[in-house]
Each structure stands twice: as C-alpha cells, then as structure tokens.
Chain A
C-alpha cells in the first residue's frame, strides 16, 4: 500500500478548463458582470463575486426522454394506498417524485450561477476600457531606451566581435580564392624530404620542381590571409524605445464647506475606480492626493477623504500645487501622469481666468489625461440637476477647454449608480465609443 500526500501538489488543476469556460461564455459573462457591477459599491468592485448567466449559451445537449409517455414509478413509504386506487393528477404533488424517476435532472434550470475570482472579475469588468492616447504618447514622448540585438555589422568594438560569423565568412573567402590548405603544404614538404633522402644527387630536377611548387604555395598562402579585416563581423545592437510603465495619479478635490459628505463619497468612488483601472494597466502606480479650499496642500488618503476644511474656493491653487509636485517628483518623461478632479463646481469668479490658463498652458501638456468630474448633491433633486443643468462657474471655465483638446474630458454625476457608466464613458476605447459620448 502506498500513501501519497497530494496536498502540496500545485493547485489550480482546473484552471485551464475554467479559462476555456470563460472564453466560451465570454459575452454572457461580460453582460452579467456589468449588471452585477451596478449593484456593487466601489469598495467591493475589487472583490470576487457571484454572477449568473443564462444557461442557454453553455448547454450540453444529449438525447433525453421528454416528460410524456407512459411511466411506471416505484416509490417507498406507502401509507394507505391499496391496489387499484386512483390518484388525481396534480401538477405539484405526484409529478415531482416522478420527475427524478424519469431522469430529467436539472434540465429546467435556466440560470447558471458561479463565482468569479477577483482577477477574472476585473479583467472582464475593465475589458473594453482603454487609457486615452496611451499609444500616441509612448511613440512621441517616451524617453528611455533599451537595446536589443539586430543582426551584424562590419564595424564595432572588439567586445562585440561575432566569432562564428567572422570565421564563416573567412572560410567562404578562403575557399573562393583557393588558399592552399596547410595539409597540402605539409604533404609537399614531406615529398621533398623523401626525394632528398632517396635520390641523393641522382636527379636534382625532381627536387627542384617540388621546391618550386612549395614556394608558389607558400607565396599564395601569404597573399591570402587566414583572416582578413574584411571578414570581421560584429554583433549589432539597436536602441528601441521602452514604454514607460509607471504612472502617477493625481486626485484633486475641493473640500470646502459646500462639498457634502455624499458628494465626497461619489468622488471617492470615482477615484477608486480610476485607481483600480490604472493598477491593471501599469506595473507601478503612485497616487497623490491634493485637496484645496482657497489654498491647496498634498495630504494622505485618510485626511483627503475624511477631514473637513473651511474656506473659500480657489481651484487654481490645486493646479499650482499639482504643477509643483510634478516638477519636484514626477518627471513627465518617465511618468504617465493622470489627473482627476472632483468638485461641486464652485470657484470664485476672480479665479476663473487663472484656472483656465494654468490648466491649458501648464497642466494639460504634462498630463496624459485630465478628467473633471462635477459632483451634484445626491440628496438633491437628481433629475432636475441633470436636466436643466445649472451651469457652475468651473464648468463654464472648463467647457471651453473641453471643446479644444482631446486630453480633457468632463462629466457630471449626482448619483452613486451613475459613477460606473460615467467612468466607462470617460475611458471607453476610442473609435468604438464616439457616438456614445454626448
């Protein structure tokens, strides 16, 4: 008898099957994930979760008998029936016991429920979202370079000498030009030596002829070198642009008294969604929180979301702070910079011009993408807010910018449920979504 402990075997034996299953049911799962994301809080978005999909697309058919026809059932537990009793047909009562007898199994089920892991959920959830202008930015402005092998060159440093290739070419040249082999020369020398031993003085003509031949060979060998500078080949390296795989995300938020807790909650959801999204795309993501009233400061996450400040509202102060942080720590050539600003739209009238200029001249050229989210009061009349949009001062300032450049997008949102659709609009793959965004 053998006992084998399999517990330490690598797990996930079903992983490949699971992937095949998800691929098979991709459309259905995607739809189900969207549906379930609506009901989820953003905190839960990163969790694994159960989804249910219609069983139609993943059916495994087989020949089965339908419910009709004459059936015989043998059941245990007779209480008071005697032979010949007639039983009324009722859809609920006797039929149930019969169903299992005919082996109809779970055929009636029309929803298939199962649990997706966090990875799978996020992959599907963010599947058709794209970071805006990511590719373009890489091509145009990427600064770091890597080196990779790219064939051979005739010049280079000795360290890069490609020995094998050099010898191949030298061999080809030697054959082509007919350089005498050393074996030939040796054979000739031996023949001369033999001739001198055997025919001492007898027939000097033979020896002389051999010597002459040897001389010709030697001369030829000297003229055609074993390795010629022409043969030399060096390994060639070519620089190629290396994509920057780190990103920094700036979260800018107005924390003045006019922002209620509900509005902050919406903003927080948006920031978290953006963070999840960036971490899927970049190896390394930094987050910088900047809050502002009439002056701005960089804070940690907890302070950012939870402490309140009082004061007026100067949006430009936050932009200036962001510019300072970028200059200090995040070189735009090495970092992908994303910024998301959330505000209720209040800004003091005198600040509008300065904000607009700062954004268009200083901030936008640094950024990959700048998203502005205007948060309405969730307690307020949502429909009214959405419909005849009371134009806030900040919205007014930014609207002009949005019309001009593609790097900048702005949306309004006033209810939690709207966060995800708005987020999708902001990051939908370009081209596919042109029609969708208003």
Chain B
C-alpha cells in the first residue's frame, strides 16, 4: 500500500471539478474498490445532468427513457412544485441497474459530493445489482435499455394507430394492477420432449403394474367427477395465478394483440423493479457502507483533504440519521440507517465478537474476513431474510427498538417486546416482517373462471391479520380489471385460516372502455 501524503496527491482542491477530475476520482475509487474491497461491478457510465433533468428522471422512475403517460406528467408537476418551493432537495444521484451501469450525477454537486456519489452509486449500488440473487433472477441489465426503447416506440405507435384515448385507458388499467403484475416465484422450467416421453412411459408402466380390476367396481359419485373437471380446468388455465396481469395477457378473451403486448410491457417493467422493492435496506446499506470505506481510505491515503472529509461526514451523518419515534420528523425506519448500522455491526461481529455474538451468530462471529462475509450476505439475502438473520441484540439495544401490538379488538395498544433478552427474537421477527414484500402488498390471486356460465372471473384476497382492502380504491382497481377482462369480476376477501369470506367486491365490464 502506498501512503505518500502531500498536496500533489490530492484528487482535487476546493469545490470545482471538471471531466478530468471526475475521471481521476473514478479511477482512484475504482482502484480501492477492486484492490481493497474486491468488488465485482459492471462497467460504469457516468452522466452529468442538470436539476431539471433530474426532475425529468424522477418522473419516469429514474429510467433514461420511458413511454408516455399522464401519470408521469403528474409526478413531474408534483416534484417540480415541491422542489421550487424549496421543500425538497433533489437526490445527488440516480443509478440504473443496467450494463453498463448508468449513474446520473448532478452538476451542482461539489467535487467531494461527486466523489461520494461515485463511490456510493457507481460502486456500491453497482456491486449490489450485479451480485444480489434477486436482481440476477429477475432483471436483465444487458437488455433493459433496449427493451425500454422498444416499449416506448411500441406504445407511441399504438397511440398513433389506435388513438391516445384507447392507449391511455389501457395503461391506466394496467398501472392500477402493476403491483399484481409480478411473478413472485421463479416458474418451473418445462421439460424437454424426451424427458416428457420417458416420464409418460414410466407412468404407464406403473399403472400396468398396479392394475387391479377391483378398482373398476368402486362406485364413483358425480360430485367427485365434477371436482376432477374443476381441477383440470384450473390447471389448464394455470390457476390459481398471483400474477394478474400475466393471466389477463394470456387469457382475457376480448383483448386485441396490441393490448396484450402493452400489458406485457407494463408487467415486465413491474417485474424489473420488483427486486428493488424488497432490497431497499440491503441495497442502501451496502452502498452506504462501501462509500464510507472508500471515502475513509481516500482520506487516510491523503487523496482528499480534511475539509472534504468533513464535508463528506456531514452529508453521511445526515443520510444515516434515524429519528426516534417521538421525533416530529419520524417517518418510519430509515433504510439507509438500518442498512448501514447492520453492515457495520456484521463487521464488528466478524472481527471482535462478544460472548453474546458467539451464541447468536456462531458461523459469523470471529470469522475475520468481514468484507467477504458481507459480500456473501449481499449476494444471498433480501431485506426480510437479512433482518431475520442478522439483526443482532446489540443493535436492538442500540436502537432501543420495541414492538407494539395494535389489535383493534382490544381497548389498548400493547407493548409486547422491548430490547431485552425476552424480546430480541420477537422484535427481530416483527421488523423482518415489516420489510416482507409479501406482507406489504396484499396477496391477491385469480382463483377461478366460470367458463360454463357468464365467464365471471373470481379473485381471492388472502387477508392477513384482518387487514381488509381499502374499499374505495379496491372498487376502482376492480373496475379497471373488469374492463380488461371484458366480463364480470368478483373479488372475495378470505381469511386464510378459516376460509370465511370477510368482504366481497364486484365489478362489471363497461362496454367500449377497453374492449
């Protein structure tokens, strides 16, 4: 390691920067990231943008190109008016999960901030995108930009051919169901023909071997036959299906081919963002921890001066601040703070564990190579499993976490766990649950279609802890769903334990709205 300090070694002085500064910063940071932290990242592409372009990017969920829809205009207007009033600062950067990894950095940032941003986004997030299993499973960073440009052109051509209004109505409906448009589990790969044939042969052989004429004489009631038919029909339609948009795309009877294609576009984009929703804590924690390591190393090696380092610390501490629940600024758990604290805690456990840590994390405690341990965690967990596994008692004490049960049937709220020996596991489980996407978004599935009768589509909402859907919103979404389906739609809210129906919503298709 070379440690020659001196003014010549500084990457920059003062706030100003130019492209060669950015290049120098990037190369130095890349050096630390590769040699010291041994990160594996996509190649970087750094784009410098203005505040207005940042607002543009906000409106289209950060993507550099996106199809046109009024809701993005609404979002833009909203951000803009808040920003103009000075109520909201803009993000310093936006980073896109693509290959090469695109990071937008703002022109207003000082040189220190650019260094921080490059370390945070171009290396921290970049590493996470490339290695985390969720992103590897669900996203295609090589193709996303091409796909978006296809989507944009396709929707524009549909607008031209079928009219703005028709496309807008379709997108409205599709957007309403966007959260119900993702696959949550990787599908089974279909077997190839040869295997299929082999299994068929084996099944036949087994049937012959087991044949007993006696079974023929067992009476078979009409009810069971009916059930077999039901099961068969559901299996053919791939039901139950939690990806409502996928189901509509494949089976809605009246949709035209271009409408199916647009549903597909919306659903694929929803799927692309699905990993981000469930790795907020980890993703930000990983990037924050990495930028802290890199900035500290830069300072230790004399590549940035004390002033810059203090500037960095100010903004770093702002980012990882967690207001207490009594604080008027409290708005839930700050994913940066939780993620960063957990990463630091894991490093501590790996390097200098206490007795308690040894009992709680036998595999991790005293392991030594903390960075490797972290990289393994970054690759193989999502927020829920990460917290469930690695939230340590020490951190629970530090944050003074406590768990409140709010049961509407009881007159009081109850504190059911605090940061003590009896409460650790409970708190850890509950906090993990708060970050479980399966609990945040309601579990809604298409369960059946009345193919013999009026083609009514039936959906179930599996109600968790008595949390029903917001009725007004549900009615609106269901109306969109009915318009897409083309016939009646019925949504039952079912208690998964007792299978009793708690609430029903119904909607009928309006003629000519979509189909």
Q: Which residues of B contact A432 (CB under 8 A)?
A: none
Q: In whole angstroms, what is the CA distance A372 to B317 when docked?
A: 66
Contact with A along B410-434 (1 / 0, CB 8 A): 0111111111101100010011011
The answer on a CB contact under 8 Å between B331 and A88 is no
Q: In whole angstroms, what is the CA distance A11 to B107 when docked?
A: 15
Stretch at the interface among A34-42, A64-72, A177-185, A220-228: A64-72
**Cβ contact of B50, chosen from A7, A73, A100, A103, cutoff 8 A:** A7
CB distance from A36 to the nearest CB of B (A): 14
Closest to A58 in B: B74
Q: Which residues of B contact A112 (CB under 8 A)?
A: 74, 78
Chain B CB within 8 A of A9 CB: yes
Beta-carbon contacts under 8 Å, B79-108 to A: 80-81, 84, 100, 104, 107
Q: In whole angstroms, what is the CA distance A2 to B53 when docked?
A: 19
Q: 4 tightest A-B contacts by CB?
A: A77-B324, A21-B73, A69-B467, A114-B77
Stretch at the interface among B64-72, B196-204, B251-259, B278-286: B64-72
Beta-carbon contacts under 8 Å, B202-254 to A: none
The answer on a CB contact under 8 Å between B418 and A82 is yes
Knowing that A72-B405, A114-B81 touch, tell me 16 more A-B residue pairs with CB under 8 angstroms.
Answer: A5-B19, A6-B104, A7-B50, A14-B72, A24-B70, A60-B176, A66-B469, A66-B471, A72-B433, A73-B403, A76-B399, A87-B404, A89-B411, A97-B330, A114-B77, A115-B81
Q: In whole angstroms, what is the CA distance A84 to B423 when docked?
A: 11
Q: Which residues of A contact B434 (CB under 8 A)?
A: 72-74, 101
Chain B CB within 8 A of A61 CB: yes
The answer on a CB contact under 8 Å between A66 and B76 is no
Q: Which residues of B contact A63 (CB under 8 A)?
A: 179-180, 441-442, 444, 461, 469, 473-474, 477
Q: Which residues of B contact A20 (CB under 8 A)?
A: 68-70, 73, 164, 168
**Cβ contact of A76, chosen from B59, B400, B464, B477, cutoff 8 A:** B400
Once A17-B59, A77-B325, A77-B400 are accepted as A-B contacts, the answer to whether A61 and B176 lie under 8 Å apart by CB is yes
Chain A CB within 8 A of B178 CB: yes
Q: Which residues of B contact A16 (CB under 8 A)?
A: 68, 73
Q: In whole angstroms, what is the CA distance A60 to B325 when docked?
A: 30
**Cβ contact of A72, chosen from B107, B327, B404, B461, cutoff 8 A:** B404
Chain A CB within 8 A of B44 CB: yes
Which positions in A face B, CB cutoff 8 Å?
1-7, 9, 11, 13-14, 16-25, 50, 58-66, 68-79, 81-89, 94, 97-98, 100-103, 107, 112-115
CB distance from B261 to the nearest CB of A (A): 20
CB distance from A287 to the nearest CB of B (A): 33
The answer on a CB contact under 8 Å between B325 and A97 is yes
The answer on a CB contact under 8 Å between A1 and B407 is no
The answer on a CB contact under 8 Å between A77 and B399 is yes
The answer on a CB contact under 8 Å between A75 and B55 is no
**Interface residue total, chain B, C-beta cutoff 8 A:** 100
Q: Which residues of A contact B15 (CB under 8 A)?
A: none
Beta-carbon contacts under 8 Å, B463-512 to A: 463-471, 473-474, 476-477, 480
Q: Which residues of A contact B71 (CB under 8 A)?
A: 21, 60
Q: Which residues of B contact A60 (CB under 8 A)?
A: 71, 74, 172, 175-176
Q: In whole angstroms, what is the CA distance A200 to B43 when docked?
A: 90
The answer on a CB contact under 8 Å between B413 and A86 is yes
Q: Which residues of B contact A98 (CB under 8 A)?
A: 406
User: Would you give 7 A-B contacts (Cβ < 8 Å), ordered by A?
Assistant: A20-B68, A20-B73, A61-B477, A66-B470, A72-B405, A88-B412, A89-B412
**Cβ contact of A17, chosen from B52, B72, B418, cutoff 8 A:** B72
Stretch at the interface among B22-30, B184-192, B307-315: B22-30
CB distance from B277 to the nearest CB of A (A): 11
Q: In whole angstroms, what is the CA distance A50 to B474 when docked?
A: 31
Q: Which residues of B contact A71 (CB under 8 A)?
A: 405-406, 465, 467
Q: In whole angstroms, what is the CA distance A112 to B79 when docked?
A: 11
CB distance from A21 to the nearest CB of B (A): 3
CB distance from A56 to the nearest CB of B (A): 11
The answer on a CB contact under 8 Å between A64 and B19 is no
Q: In whole angstroms, what is the CA distance A85 to B404 when docked?
A: 9
Q: In whole angstroms, what is the CA distance A23 to B71 when docked?
A: 12
CB distance from A82 to the nearest CB of B (A): 6
Q: In whole angstroms, what is the CA distance A73 to B401 when docked?
A: 10
Q: Which residues of A contact B47 (CB under 8 A)?
A: 3-6
Q: In whole angstroms, what is the CA distance A85 to B434 when docked?
A: 22
The answer on a CB contact under 8 Å between A7 and B403 is no
Residue in B403, B406, B473 with the greatest tally of chain A CB atoms within 10 Å: B406
Q: In whole angstroms, what is the CA distance A22 to B322 when docked?
A: 39
